[in-house]
Amino acid sequence: MARVNAHIAKYERLKNKYGNNNITSITIRGLEIQKDARRVFVNGKEVNLAQKEFDVLLFLAQNPNRVFSREELFDRVWGMDALGDAATVTVHIGRIRDKIESDPSNPQYIETVWGAGYRLRT
């Protein structure tokens, strides 16, 4: 188990060093995420997100159009050693939608894929 965790940690370090994570700003339609400043703008207006809300949104934006289950999002954003459960992801997604969507009941950014999870639609 320790060997697998070490390989995963090494992979993440290499991915962060050589991957597309060097981009400082991600723009998807009217949504702009500034990684280094940890700021989010929707149609030019700044939106205040909590730390984990920002982390979830940034993770989804770095992996657009890919579906992640609640459990996978929880593991990737909160980490393997975090206490809690995957239902936390649902709460955070709802809060993010309330803040960035013009109509949270008809989301245009974070899409629910029933039975599979969530994805950020480009």
56-91 pLDDT, tens digit each: 999 999 999 999 999 999 989 988 766 778 789 999
DSSP state letters, 30-67 = TEEEETTTTEEEETTEEE---HHHHHHHHHHHHSTT--
User: By C-alpha distance, which of 34, 57, 59 is closest to 44?
Assistant: 34
- Domain 48-120 grouped into CATH 1.10.10.10: yes
Q: What are the sequence ranges of the domains in the chain?
A: 48-120
Q: Residue 102 pLDDT more than 90?
A: no
Give the model's confidence band at 7: pLDDT under 50 very low, under 70 low, under 90 confident, else very high.
confident
Amino acid at 72: E
Closest by alpha carbon to 27, among 54, 55, 64?
Answer: 64
Identify whether the C-beta of residue 23 lies closer than 8 Å to the C-beta of residue 35: yes
